[in-house]
Structure 1
Amino acid sequence: MTATSPSDDPIDLRSPEFAADPFPVIERVREAGGSAPALFVDTMEAVLFVDDEDVRTILGDRRFVLDPANVTRGRVTAKRSDALNALGIRPDLITYLTESILDKDGDDHTRLRKLVSRTFTVRRINELRPKVQRVTDDLLARLPGLADGDGVVDLMPHLSYPLPIAVICDLVGVPEEERAAWREWSRRLNRFDPTRAELMNDTLGEMVDHIRGMLAERREEPTDDLLGALVRARDEDGGRLGESELITLVFTLVVAGHETTAHLLGNGVATLLAHPGQTEALRSDPDLLPSAVHEMLRYGGTAVVSKARYAAEDVQLRTGRLAAGQRAIAVIAGANRDPRVHPDPHRFDITRHRGKPGEAHVGFGHGIHYCLGAALARQEGEVAVGSLLNAYPGLSLVPGRDPRRTPSPGALRMDSLPVRLG
């Protein structure tokens, strides 16, 4: 491995410095050559890459795999399950953290993706737009009643979270009265504290039991939602979908389907309002909404790093070489601010993507694991941001009450976004 670290020690992605603000670390790696040894959040060694070309190769090239069992000649001995077991996660629950659609390679991934992809077709997403608009309008109408005496309201619990969880739960088939529980489970999962394994075990146990209950209900009374379709695939085509795969698929879709969008909205609105000139440009030209959402994803999308991949064989990347069995971390935020691809990358510019086909950023990933719900997330972003600015023309950040993020390794998660409605 020819990558070198900007310091003598590997970069610890669990460090408070990286969790609070990853961009200075990313730029130091870029200046040092573009790659560096690192310790991933599961404590295992890896090499991180911040270059756009390298990130796309790691995410899209079949020489990189998620499952170490797929590495040639058995060169990988350490597994993520071993690290989780060492942290105290119950063995019977580890499979739900390591065997999701997000962890599958090749044919296994294709098999699972086909089962759910029809739910996220362009036609289906377009049909959802009126519902997304209705939910958004309802949430926006409630904001004045939730504001304090100064007209200040926190958008995270009152818009950014409830919109995407309402939409994905409706698609999957989670009843409205159960969504608060899902929100809490998701919050715990995405703030995993390795010193509190008991809380993680309790959370996973509750989720698995709850999903089993929903599956039993669908078997007694079939439904037309995604959960009903998955139950039919499991029961009518034996071997196509295992029971644990079914459970994992459900909670992955719900958690991933709202967490990333919630923070896209939080980070995006906070960034937009911090740039008043950009806000006014968008108010003046609503046709900029698609480009603005892409810029929000590029500049401050939720994902900072990808899941770790293993080199299935020796691979020469632009900024470093990996031997078979070594782990690579694609730094999404690094690729999205690569000056070779994005001129003046630290400037927020909502016109940057206007009129350009495809996506210049990798905010939704790349390759076979490109986000299933990307079109839905973009739509929710466009509807929510456009409707928010239209409903509250005087919307602004609140001096002395800055948006607040909880430091989180691997993601930019907004906890609080106080705004004055105007």
Structure 2
Amino acid sequence: MIGEDERVLAPLNPADPAFARDPYPYYAQLRAQGPAARVALANGTHAWLVTGYEQARAVLADPRFSNVPPQRAGRPRPESAAQRARECLARHMLNSDAPDHTRLRRLTTAAFTPRRVNALRPRIEHLAAGLVAELAEQLARDGSADLVDGFAFPLPVLVIGEVLGVPEADRKDLREWTYRVGSPADALEQGAVEEAWARLHAYFTELIEQKRRAPGDDLFSSLVHDASEGGLDDGELLAMAFLLLFAGYETTMNLLASASLALLTHPGELAAARRGGEEHWAAVVEETLRHASPLEGTTWRRTTQEVDLGGGTVIPAEASVLVVLAAASRDPEFFPAPDAFRPGRHLPGAEGGRPAPHLAFGHGPHFCLGARLARLEAAVALPLLFEGLPGIGLAADPDALPYRPGLLVRGPRRLPVHAPAAQAPSA
């Protein structure tokens, strides 16, 4: 049976630009074979992909699916300084199980309480308004701009930078390095991923030393202090620094970019959001999270024993398993018209009632700590963007936009827009 399934679909290549742009037909075909299936990957390995909603929730809450990577997981890599850096930075809490995960998560939870996150609203409003003003100037001057480089990227970087205490001047380098380590090596020049791991390790080592010398009122400083009191060892501290920065901006950047693209290509929904106010903008955010999940998949898991997912799906022990959040949140059994962008389904009184909770932030013990902050940034920033730049239009074919390769995070790499005047040139 497995052999028949694997012949239906060609080996999955996450570095394929066409797949990165639109992976959903592939996932729909895969789901038609069952909620979890063994898939051949382009690198010659195999893995189980979970695409069904109910099964995804079950796997994410099941301790038999370990987050701890097996020794020498993935392709064999030669011993090097870059590989040692990679292994060090990969010791973050997403790659851990209880009780280690419980301890690591507890140390960061205080930074993302509702009170602390809500207190960031005025700062987010100020930063977003400033970026919109800069975009307006650029559009008036040049006639075009990129919403990823000018808005979706800098806003979450500025916000998480303040939370963590990362200097603003370092953000471009960090964006490049984290982009590389989150991408398939096949999509980049040879050695680019290894260089990025080494540079990230060196950067965070120096940043932590700076926090030891001159601590501030930020999360990194708190973690460094906790480490000196027995909270984290040096390796855990480096890994936590990497994870919080990467997760703190990468997913929100993709959320902002994907929401902007969806509204630009669905003018009726944009008009409805403008009329509907805060409640409708919140619905836009939720529908973007469901429809264009910024996290395409979770981190890899492995089975510690044979697991029967029901319906004849049995995953053997020591199998590599990926829960595809983007696919699970488009499961037609739980989301009617799953491929349609319909924010109204998240509004009170929606026909058929509100849908099942999407899985964009995961589920279970590893549910994203920064979910509230990401939602707040998007709910504040999107109305400011479209109120401050009324009439902007997409300046590219949406079906030809380049997307981030890989199975971890997903979003457009560029989002060119033009000024309103460019839409209707005078005769």
TM-score (normalised: structure 1): 0.90
Q: Which residue of 1 aligns with 2:145?
A: 153
| Structural RMSD (CA) | 2.6
- DSSP-derived class of the 1:351 partner: helix
Q: Distance in 1 between matches of 2:336 and 2:330?
A: 9
Displacement of 1:299: 0.5
Q: Distance in 2 between matches of 1:84 and 1:248?
A: 22
Q: Rate the CA distance shift 1:297–1:95 in 2: closer, same or farther, 3 A.
A: same
Q: Which residue of 1 aligns with 2:253?
A: 262
Q: Rate the CA distance shift 1:91–1:229 in 2: closer, same or farther, 3 A.
A: same
- DSSP-derived class of the 1:224 partner: coil
- DSSP-derived class of the 1:405 partner: coil
Letter in 2 for 1:123: R
Q: Distance in 2 between matches of 1:19 and 1:87?
A: 31
Superposed, 1:299-338 pairs within 5 Å as: 299-319=291-311, 320-338=313-331
Q: Which residue of 2 aligns with 1:375?
A: 372
Letter in 2 for 1:350: P
Q: Rate the CA distance shift 1:386–1:268 in 2: closer, same or farther, 3 A.
A: same
Displacement of 1:89: 7.8
Cα contact 2:335–2:355 (8 A) shared by 1: no
Displacement of 1:188: 2.4
Q: Which residue of 2 aligns with 1:75?
A: none
- DSSP-derived class of the 1:83 partner: coil
Q: Distance in 2 between matches of 1:407 and 1:229?
A: 33
Q: Which residue of 2 aligns with 1:272?
A: 263
Displacement of 1:32: 2.1
Moved more, 390-399 or 283-292: 390-399
Q: Distance in 1 between matches of 2:13 and 2:79?
A: 17
Q: Rate the CA distance shift 1:403–1:126 in 2: closer, same or farther, 3 A.
A: farther
Cα contact 1:6–1:29 (8 A) shared by 2: no
Cα contact 1:402–1:418 (8 A) shared by 2: no
Letter in 2 for 1:182: L
Q: Distance in 1 between matches of 2:397 and 2:315?
A: 47
Cα contact 2:86–2:198 (8 A) shared by 1: no
Superposed, 1:377-416 pairs within 5 Å as: 377-398=374-395, 404-406=401-403, 408-410=405-407, 411-416=409-414
Displacement of 1:107: 0.9
- DSSP-derived class of the 1:110 partner: helix
* CA deviation map 1:215-272 (0-9, x unaligned): 22222222221111111111122xx311011011101111121111111111111011
Q: Which residue of 2 aligns with 1:53?
A: 54
Displacement of 1:85: 1.8
Displacement of 1:21: 2.0
Letter in 2 for 1:406: Y
Cα contact 1:5–1:11 (8 A) shared by 2: no
* CA deviation map 1:124-148 (0-9, x unaligned): 0000010000000000011122227
* CA deviation map 1:252-308 (0-9, x unaligned): 111121111111111111011111111111011112111110100110122222222
Q: Distance in 1 between matches of 2:110 and 2:215?
A: 18
Moved more, 219-228 or 395-404: 395-404
Cα contact 1:338–1:345 (8 A) shared by 2: yes
Cα contact 1:85–1:94 (8 A) shared by 2: no
Cα contact 1:20–1:406 (8 A) shared by 2: yes
How many residues align? The count is 411
- DSSP-derived class of the 1:12 partner: coil
Q: Which residue of 2 aligns with 1:209?
A: 202
Cα contact 1:13–1:19 (8 A) shared by 2: no
Cα contact 2:136–2:389 (8 A) shared by 1: no
Moved more, 144-153 or 249-258: 144-153
* CA deviation map 1:52-97 (0-9, x unaligned): 011111112112111256xxxxxxxx642x6252597844223135
Cα contact 2:2–2:38 (8 A) shared by 1: no
Q: Distance in 1 between matches of 2:81 and 2:257?
A: 31
Q: Distance in 1 between matches of 2:381 and 2:4?
A: 43
- Select which of 387, 405, 418 maps to 1:420: 418
Displacement of 1:390: 1.6
Superposed, 1:40-189 pairs within 5 Å as: 44-67=45-68, 79-80=72-73, 83=75, 85=77, 90-147=82-139, 151-189=143-181
Q: Distance in 2 between matches of 1:400 and 1:329?
A: 31
- DSSP-derived class of the 1:325 partner: coil
Q: Which residue of 2 aligns with 1:231?
A: 224
Letter in 1 for 2:375: R
Displacement of 1:42: 7.2
* CA deviation map 1:140-187 (0-9, x unaligned): 011122227673221110000000000001100111222222222223
Q: Rate the CA distance shift 1:107–1:185 in 2: closer, same or farther, 3 A.
A: same
Q: Which runs of 5+ in 2 are unaligned?
A: 421-427
- DSSP-derived class of the 2:378 partner: helix
Q: Distance in 1 between matches of 2:69 and 2:389?
A: 50
Displacement of 1:396: 2.5
- DSSP-derived class of the 1:329 partner: strand
Q: Which runs of 5+ in 1 are unaligned?
A: 70-77
Q: Does 1:7 align with 2:4?
A: no
Letter in 2 for 1:51: G
Q: Rate the CA distance shift 1:6–1:324 in 2: closer, same or farther, 3 A.
A: closer
Displacement of 1:389: 1.7
Cα contact 1:230–1:246 (8 A) shared by 2: yes
TM-score (normalised: structure 2): 0.89
Q: Distance in 2 between matches of 1:4 and 1:310?
A: 23
